[in-house]
Structure 1
Amino acid sequence: MTRFTRRSAMGAIGAAATLPVLARPALAQDKLTVGALRFTSHAASFVAFERGYFAQEGLEVEFRFFEAAQPMAIAIASGDADYAVSAISGGLISLAEKGAARVIGGALSEEKGIDGQKILASNAAYDAGLVSPATLDGKSFGITQAGSSFHYMGARIAATEGADITFKPLQKVGAVIGALKSGQIDAWSVVPHIAKPLAAAGAARIIGNVADYLPDYQVTTVFTSARNAENERAKTESFLRAFARGADDFNAALVDKSAGDDAAEDMVRLIHKYVYTDRDYDKARPAIVNGAMRINKDGALNMGSVEDQLGWFRSEGLIKDTITTETLVDPSYVDII
């Protein structure tokens, strides 16, 4: 896994911050590792790092990058990462049930009026008649692992359409992309910064929107170890404050577009340090802009969506019937929406 770290505080940028003076001094810094995917949807952490918000909270952050949600949850439980942002997965829920992990906030959300996650068909499947989700019956659907967000989305879409589909676990996002391009799977659903470039390059076809099937879907959450949630409250609150400031900047620049064109350009360049780093900026820029979905203000959590996800996991036998939102979420950190 790739690591990226910065030790300087960037205090000059922080002087312009509009938030009140924070209680934690930025002198004796707490070192912590933040788990992330190289997705635009993880931008709040990247912004908080690059603009010194973590440093101002007395946090010395190192990123650890993953290629799927479940390995990230395992890293949180084992102490290899301190905080992370990713979708609710069966692995995360099971670790919470064992007392090893807790959700402490919300991140990416589907929101009406904002172009969100897409449902894709391979070119071969599209040419054979998979031109909308209504024609998914009998098709294959790519996922990383059983119990992943891709599994949840695919199952909910199929259930709405009355379709019988076959799920193919491929472990990593990159492997799913390769399988879709080559026609080894028929369909997939994913965030727009991946879906739209695939379609624009002629590598797949967009056949629908996830929001039509899962309105207000809480796509990702912020989570940590139970030990951090219970015993490291000051550090955890500092992390969440910095993360929320990063989310505010991201939303203003690329979602609400209220910060102006220069701020939007600066934001895309910042994100490009972490997302599509193998592409020239001019090629990466449209894909990053296309990934601009809402990151919840102040880490608020859509508990209705979380409850729906847990209900699906229980119905599939992927988690115990006794697991509830109280098992997964530490409500003392969370604003409910």
Structure 2
Amino acid sequence: MKTSRHLLRAGLAALCLSTFAGAALAEKLKVGYLPASGHAKFFVAQEQGLFKQEGLEVELVEFVNQADGLHAVTSGKIDIGAFGTSAPLVHYSRGADLKVIGGIMGQDSSIVAKQENAAAYRNIADLKGKKIATVRLATGDAVLRGALKAAGLDWKTDVQIFELKNPPAVAEAVKSGQVDVGVTWAPHDVLAERQGLKVVIRSGELQPGHPCCRLVVKSARLNDQATLEKFVRAILKAEKFAAQNRKETIDSLQKYVKLDREILETSYYSAWLDQTSDPNAKGTAQFWETLADSGFIEGNRDIKGLFAPETYRRALESLAKEEPNEAFWRERIALEKTRNTL
């Protein structure tokens, strides 16, 4: 009996030490996000324990706009952030010390109008002479300006663009008649339709497959590749989890975006939301050209220097090695090869 008690105590002590060691060794990261349905993979990775599986202790830090989030990355207040494509590219063009290691979502923006006017806006050329509300440097804002140019319209003279603070302000401007149409994104597009507006044009129709929020870090962060790869592994696991577990995904999302479940589910599982997690260097480089055409890009910095795709590549390959028969990883490997070579 004494021997058994000694063995039990020894086992419990070893378990406690192991647990303590695991907690002590957990690598801490501060990660910035926007309260949008497209950022659900952060919430899934947190709530479903996927960050912990990778030995990470992640603090999710909410930002209401991209500018504040990017400043937090460049100033070292947070380690990783995901913010719309436009803002990181503009800051990079001005010399910001940024690297893209992956993505969190793509497409997902839309143009909304009043129901009674919706039929008048069948394509981008129909916006000539109209008042348009947008959020400056949001992804949809850049897509809009690029599409206007492609249609032979000058966004400075052929339309009137009003830059507002956030998507709710855009929707309110459309509802009140202060503008004719507005540019928003999920889940605010779904909310706008619940409030009587109608989506008339999707950003994916204007620039198919365009990227949105990219995972960005300071260059110095690349010195800690092991930690970054663990983080991207958790995001990839969350992508796979969300594709296969709808209820639990919305449970996780609802803890961070306080909206009706139906709205969140409609927006996150929309056919217009690209949920892949790779850097999409080709799409981002194309977006760079869109911003340059729109007058947002300053200087002649080489866009190739923005990307660090090896982080994503190694994280994905390690997951595929662990599950060699998993079709999900094979599909992501094939996609990565087509989108991340410039």
TM class by shorter chain equals 0.7 to 0.9
Shift of residue 215 of structure 1?
0.8
Shift of residue 73 of structure 1?
1.2
Name the residue aligned to 2:191.
197
Residues 284, 316 of structure 1: alpha-carbon distance in 2 compared, 3 angstrom cutoff: closer
Q: Counting helix residues as a fraction of each chain, which structure ranks higher?
A: 2
1:53 and 2:50 matched:
yes
1:35 and 2:35 matched:
no
Residues 300, 216 of structure 1: alpha-carbon distance in 2 compared, 3 angstrom cutoff: same
Shift of residue 92 of structure 1?
4.7
Name the residue aligned to 2:328.
none
Structure 1, unmatched stretches of 5+, are 1-24, 111-115, 253-258
- Indicate which of 171, 176, 182 corresponds to 2:170: 176
Separation (CA, whole Å) in 2 of partners of 1:333 and 1:165:
42
Shift of residue 64 of structure 1?
1.3
Structure 2, unmatched stretches of 5+, are 1-21, 314-335
Corresponding pairs, count: 290
Separation (CA, whole Å) in 1 of partners of 2:178 and 2:160:
12
Deviations 1:71-109 (A, max 9, x none): 211111011221111211245542475352211112313
Separation (CA, whole Å) in 2 of partners of 1:309 and 1:334:
20
SS of 1:333's equivalent?
helix
1:140 and 2:137 matched:
no
Name the residue aligned to 2:246.
264
1:106 and 2:103 matched:
yes
Shift of residue 284 of structure 1?
5.3
SS of 1:317's equivalent?
coil
SS of 2:38's equivalent?
helix
Deviations 1:253-288 (A, max 9, x none): xxxxxx3xxx3222212211112x1x4546655455
1:77 and 2:74 matched:
yes
TM-score with structure 1 setting the length: 0.76
Name the residue aligned to 2:110.
118
Structure 1 vs Structure 2 CA RMSD: 2.6
Deviations 1:313-334 (A, max 9, x none): 2233322341222232223324
Quick check: 279-288 or 49-58, which moved more?
A: 279-288
Name the residue aligned to 1:68.
65
1:149 and 2:146 matched:
no
Q: Is contact 1:271–1:288 with CA below 8 Å preserved after alignment?
A: no
Residues 267, 91 of structure 1: alpha-carbon distance in 2 compared, 3 angstrom cutoff: closer
Separation (CA, whole Å) in 2 of partners of 1:303 and 1:150:
18
- Indicate which of 304, 314, 327 corresponds to 1:326: 304
1:246 and 2:246 matched:
no
Separation (CA, whole Å) in 1 of partners of 2:303 and 2:182:
27
2:203 alignment partner AA: V
Structure label with greater radius of gyration: 2
SS of 1:237's equivalent?
helix
Name the residue aligned to 2:203.
210
Separation (CA, whole Å) in 1 of partners of 2:272 and 2:115:
25
Shift of residue 226 of structure 1?
1.7
Q: Is contact 1:33–1:81 with CA below 8 Å preserved after alignment?
A: yes
Q: Is contact 1:90–1:318 with CA below 8 Å preserved after alignment?
A: no
SS of 2:187's equivalent?
helix
Shift of residue 290 of structure 1?
4.4
1:272 alignment partner AA: Q
Separation (CA, whole Å) in 1 of partners of 2:179 and 2:305:
35
Shift of residue 235 of structure 1?
1.3
Residues 188, 222 of structure 1: alpha-carbon distance in 2 compared, 3 angstrom cutoff: same
1:186 alignment partner AA: D
1:234 and 2:214 matched:
no
